[in-house]
Amino acid sequence: MKLHACPYCASSVEVIDLGGGHVCIGCSECGLGGPTARNHDVELARRAWEILCARMCSHCRKGLIKHFTERIRELKAEVESLKREAPPA
């Protein structure tokens, strides 16, 4: 399981056992930690970390912006297609 580096200090991150069945992904260098997952659910903690990274990390945001830009183009093309197919009012 490859994790994005810390969006704050770019150090590598690891799974942190918080006790009581709670885990999170966090950075041991700067202390930034992702949302907590219960029942030792490392996959949920990993997904939460990816979401956090996508919102904070400029590298990840570029990919997110590209994705949304492409999706907006697709939706605009769909709308134009529907307009051409619609009978005149």
Q: Which residues pair with residue 16 across a beta bridge?
A: 24
Read off the pLDDT of residues 3-18 as tens digits, 9 standing for 90 and up: 888 888 888 899 999 9
Q: Where are the beta strands (DSSP E) in 1-89?
A: 13-19, 22-27
Domain boundaries, the chain: 1-56, 58-89
Read off the pLDDT of residues 21-36 as tens digits, 9 standing for 90 and up: 999 999 989 998 888 9
DSSP 33: B
| pTM, to two decimals | 0.59
**What distance in Å separates the CA atoms of residue 82 and residue 64, rounded to the nearest whole number?**
27
Read off the pLDDT of residues 48-81 as tens digits, 9 standing for 90 and up: 888 888 777 766 666 666 777 888 899 999 999 9
pLDDT at residue number 56 = 77
